[in-house]
Amino acid sequence: MLELTVDERNLLEGGSGEGAALAMRVVTRVAKVMGANRLRPIVGAHIDSCLYHGPATLDFADRLVDGGARVSVPTTLNVSSLDLIHPDLYRGDPEVGAAARRLMDRYEEMGCRPTWTCAPYQLADRPGYGEHVAWAESNAIVFANSVLGARTHRYGDFVDIAAAITGLVPDAGLHTDRARRARHVFDLTELDPEVFDGDAAYAVLGFHVGRHTGSRIPALVGLPPDTTEDQLKAFGAAAASSGSVAMFHAIGRTPEAPTLEAALGDVRPELMSTVTATDLRDGYERLSTATGPLAVVSLGTPHYSAAQIAHVDRLLGGRRVHPGVRMYVSTGRDVLAEAGEAVASLGRAGVQLVTDTCTYITPIIEGADGVAMTDSAKWAYYAPGNLGLDVVFAAVGDCVESAVGGRVVTRGWLGV
């Protein structure tokens, strides 16, 4: 049975206004469904509800704002439906665009920080080990739990902002030690170490793991100890797309997994799998839905880091994108400012930078009379259904060479 403190009861009964009371009703209902006996304070939140999905999303925000609700913890905002830095990129219905802009304004009125990024872990302020937060957006959730060692359950629209307003979440799910134990061990030691020389392998591995582990927490044995945050980002985003992965353990690399025994909590795993080169090759092939003339190259899902932007600039090496190809790189506005000269160089090369949103959810892409190419397993997974595009997944080096050459270039599933 859920027990509330005096202050929590006062919040529920309207002591801090109707907007906060509405948020508290959402949090307590979720807590009861999750079987929580109490609520737990959080230190921050990341909101996905700011992405416009129709009138209901705006109606809910209006009720909160009109009821006087404001966030009680530092709160960042996920991607929206518009790129406010490059507004001319929007090619959708003007009325929908206007509603999306009002939704963005409403969340700012509640005191949320207008970060507009799906990768809040790339901001200067991010939660520390063991800190409890309420994060939405699948790749952000898995990164916070796995790489940062912060604690968040898999929160969705409306629950995220309700938690930010109340500063509370159910003391259940991935906020508890028991739920964070690995249950499916993936042995990578039979793979040739050279597999991991290119970033594409991490996305393909994530896609494979997500498909086979579902909602279980996986543990990876044999991932290189020098695996970067960008590579872990690619793995987590793919696993959270093809499966329901909200956390993973990379033995010897992520903070809650110094050993396999620590990741398992000294309990035997439910499943054990050996990953082979054939498994990765199969995943690579599944991520490509067609072949054909190249029309679009889209990078940056999740949003690219400054290091990734600089890497694309180096791969271009002063060359320009082929006039018959549209090339997009999505990133957060904070990273856009940080990347500096590399951003300007990409612009001179004919690359369109996209901020505040993502090309697989917002009508931005032009000239899509052919296949689209991406280095993101998440983009490859969602774009065919969202945009009706045929997709070729490849390593970033192949994506760049294809954009410059004006045709699909792939050099095997490992890429460069």
pLDDT band, residue 289 (cuts 50/70/90): confident
pLDDT digits (tens, 9 = 90+) for 211-225: 999 999 999 999 999
Name the pTM for this structure: 0.96
Query: In the prediction, which pLDDT does 198 show?
Result: 81
For residues 124 and 145, what is the distance between their CA atoms, to the nearest angstrom? 18
Q: What is the mean pLDDT of residues 402-414?
A: 85
Tell me if the bond preceding 302 is cis, omega within 30° of 0: yes
pLDDT band, residue 413 (cuts 50/70/90): low
Residue 416 has pLDDT above 50, yes or no: no
Query: In the prediction, which pLDDT does 366 show?
Result: 79
Query: In the prediction, which pLDDT does 37 show?
Result: 98
Q: Do domains 6-178 and 288-405 have the same CATH topology?
A: yes
- Contact between residue 250 and residue 227 where contact means Cβ atoms under 8 Å apart: yes
Q: What is the mean pLDDT of residues 144-173?
A: 98
Query: In the prediction, which pLDDT does 359 show?
Result: 95
- Contact between residue 387 and residue 368 where contact means Cβ atoms under 8 Å apart: yes
Residue 60 has pLDDT above 90, yes or no: yes
Query: In the prediction, which pLDDT does 73 show?
Result: 98
One-letter amino acid at 310 equals A
Q: What is the CATH number of domain 288-405?
A: 3.30.499.10
Question: Is 391 in a helix, a strand, or coil?
Answer: strand
pLDDT band, residue 414 (cuts 50/70/90): low
Q: What is the mean pLDDT of residues 268-294?
A: 94
Can you identify the CATH homologous superfamily of domain 6-178?
Aconitase, domain 3 (3.30.499.10)
C-alpha closest to that of 202 among 127, 134, 146, 258: 146
Domain ranges of the chain: 6-178, 181-285, 288-405
Q: What does the angle CA 300 – CA 334 – CA 61 come to, to the nearest 5 degrees?
A: 90
For residues 78 and 114, what is the distance between their CA atoms, to the nearest angstrom? 9
One-letter amino acid at 72 equals S
